[in-house]
Chains A and B, each alone.
Chain A
Amino acid sequence: MNDQTTVMNKNYQKILERFPHDVQVDEREGYSGLLIEANQLLSIMETLRDEYEYDFLTSVTGVDYLPDEKMEVVYHLFKSTGGSILEVKVQVPRSNPVVPSLVGLYPGASFQEREAWDLLGIRFEGHPNLTRILMWEGFAGHPLRKDWIETFFEGDVKPYEDRWPEGKVSKVETTNPYGKNITYPDGFNPETWIPDSEDLLFQGSTVVKVEQEETGIETEQLVVNLGPQHPSTHGVFRMVATLEGETVLDLEPVMGYLHRNHEKIGERNTFSMNMPYTDRLDYFCSMSNNFGYALTVEKLLGEKYQPPERAQYIRVIMAELTRILNHFMAIGFFLNDLGAYFTPALYAIKERELILDIFEAVAGSRMMCNYYRFGGVVRDLPGGIEEQIRKLVYDRLPRQTDEMDRYLVENEIVIGRSQDVGILTPEQAIAFSAVGPVLRASGVPYDIRRADPYSIYDRFDFDVAVRYHGDVYDRFLIRFDEIRQSIRILQQAIDDLPEGEILANKPAYKFRIPKGESYGRVEGPKGELGYYVVSDGTDNPWRYHVRAPSFINLTGLREMCLGEKVADLVAILGSIDIVLGEVDR
């Protein structure tokens, strides 16, 4: 720890010397990083990117410090060659929160800045399209602000007072005049109210006539709407594509159809209550989600809560099984998107079921495992499960991976549909903050398990899977590579699994979480899954933010799709492998 801090301080020192007036070290209790004046943000960030190699902006988010009347924008920077974090923060007055937009420097900030505008009302000056992203245009208020109250408000924090000892069961709907989750702002008159124009996109396809400059021929541009109910969008995602003939001229991803307010609910929850909610972020990979959140809070809790050896191994085993499960499903659904109606997906589901049997026996639920706890895992592996896992990772999974490989990889239709389609160059991938298989398929060997090892990943012998074309086919192939590497890790982990305790502390539901902030990240199956948690010393997090890999990977979607044919849209989206629970949160 100390070594790292000194290295970091050296870094800070250089920057501090360079900008003596505009940069300060964040010296609040439990915080780290740099505080920057808003008007100098752009030039300092440019220096950081170009001279200090902090070229990878993973996360942008805001925090509402209501008692201080301040809004803070937090940037988490990394180097794409690996290494630890640099946090940069900008504080602006809460009454007029304006921050220069970083989209010009880091295009990957685009969606995240829109999200911060949508939910916190921080305006990013210079953003090319600062509109709401998760809620709809015209929604009243910025819901993540601390003084914004939702309709079914029952108390600032859980547990609610009326549950015990005089708990009279009632439905919270009864407190609302409409019996629904609805409130209107004062002075709202439905008769004079004008709907927002975004609705026009629903009305059907729009035709724009364009005269071609060279030939003088008049052509038509067509706006086509895919989703939110569309079999290929993997849930409730919507793409508005402008086509000329079959060529995609423009593409606007629209999301928020599954925005379940994880962050608002998370700030009302206690720290431990958030664990089962993380299951529902990326609902394929609940174990990985648990892992990330547990690591983040353990960072705040300190050394005492470091999980014992056996728990560390179990954690890794579960996380890697999740990765295999996720990649099998990603391959299956991707083939669905290409038109191989359901057979590959059925084979994938079969393997998934066998892994889910293990999850059910270990954690109690097939999908929503809720298995990790701060300082370990909730219960030990039941009898016989070790043997079952061993059989899977030594026999079944390698065999089935090879079979899937035989079945799909050389298929000429798959190759024809996906090779040289939707190319993302390494420079673009880094600029768009792409993570996980999408980044690695573009030739950037960045895997957090290697670049910034967490838990016990530094003990295992495995390769970081990389492919170099950055097209859809490579993003498809890299999932096979990653399954094979995960199997390698699992074989080592199950062989070395020690006996011992599984929890560092006594089981507890209340924790004394020290004041401070913490950004924890894991290499989830879809990429860097980060949690940013701010604790104010109470039982509930002051801020709970999820840096969702699927969401940020979509930033590059438009770039990948431009100039491709409309049928490729579906393949490109499938190759990114998104889960809407995580995109919209």
Chain B
Amino acid sequence: MKGFGILKGLGVTLKHLVDTYVEDIKAGRDRYYTEDGVRQRMTSDTKGIFTINYPEERLPLAEAFRYVPFLVYDEGEDGERSIRCTACGICSKVCPSQCIWIERAEDPETSKPLKTPAEFAIDIDLCMNCGFCAEYCPFDAIKMDHDFELAVYDRIDVNIHRKERLLKPASYYASIRPESYALEQKAKAEVAARKAARRGNR
């Protein structure tokens, strides 16, 4: 019969429409603006409305999610910051778009290079968010951020992230990537234990 195919198609859209209301009634108030509601809308059995109402609701980001890089520093007990970066330059060497500039600090007296960056700059108008810097950093010093709310009115200077802006505490890193943080801490503890054991043997 002519027109049957179209009717069948319209049936599918109608089902989608009805689903929305059925789901709303079934789930009640918990469907919107709650974490469970958002998670439910992300599963493979989701039906009806699929929308995440950003900014009131937010899509939970996967741990591996990467946006622009940032530098990690460890907080000392009295609040002093120890930057993990040793200015080894690996991140700037692997960077495919060459958007990382590192100026290695020098000892003011002997002018020998120090293992810390005097300046660290990332031009995020060049950065392609590939994550190579974080992947190959041997000191877990540079990581990919989860913060994507970076829209600005002017870019020329703002979008060059310098050291001060890039530095974020290890606690922040732990909050966005708990699993990798725990793994790294564990590995570090093991290394430290091994060192201590070796010292004990001597």
- Interface positions of A (Cβ within 8 A of B): 154, 158-160, 162-169, 171, 269, 272-277, 279-280, 343, 347, 350, 353-354, 357, 360-365, 368, 370, 378-379, 382, 388, 391-392, 395-396, 403, 406-415, 507, 509
Contacts and interface: CB of A to CB of B under 8 A. Distances in A.
A522 B20 CA distance: 41
Nearest to B91: A164
A159 B64 contact: no
B102 A165 contact: yes
Nearest to B59: A357
Interface string B76-111: 000000000001011011111010111110000000
Nearest to A399: B44
Interface of B: 2-6, 8-9, 11-13, 16, 42-45, 50, 61-66, 87, 89-90, 92-96, 98, 100-104, 113, 119, 121, 123, 128-132, 135-136, 144, 156, 160, 162, 179
Contacts of A272: 94, 132
A368 B136 CA distance: 18
B102 A360 contact: no
A384 to B, nearest CB: 10
Contact of B2 (A162, A269, A361, A412): A412
27 contacts: A159-B94, A159-B95, A160-B98, A164-B87, A164-B89, A167-B92, A167-B102, A168-B103, A169-B119, A169-B121, A169-B162, A275-B96, A350-B50, A354-B42, A361-B64, A362-B64, A364-B66, A365-B66, A365-B131, A382-B64, A391-B45, A406-B8, A406-B12, A410-B4, A412-B3, A412-B4, A509-B90
Nearest to B113: A165
Contact of A411 (B6, B92, B95, B96): B6
B64 A360 contact: yes
Contact of A354 (B4, B44, B92): B44
Given A396-B45, A507-B135, A167 B101 contact: yes
A274 B5 CA distance: 47
B115 to A, nearest CB: 11
A364 B65 contact: yes
A119 B112 CA distance: 47
B92 A509 contact: no
Contact of B119 (A167, A269, A388, A396): A167
Nearest to B134: A364
Given A403-B12, A411-B9, A415-B5, A364 B62 contact: yes
A407 B92 contact: no
Given A167-B100, A368-B130, A407-B12, A388 B44 contact: yes
Contacts of B135: 378, 507
B107 to A, nearest CB: 14
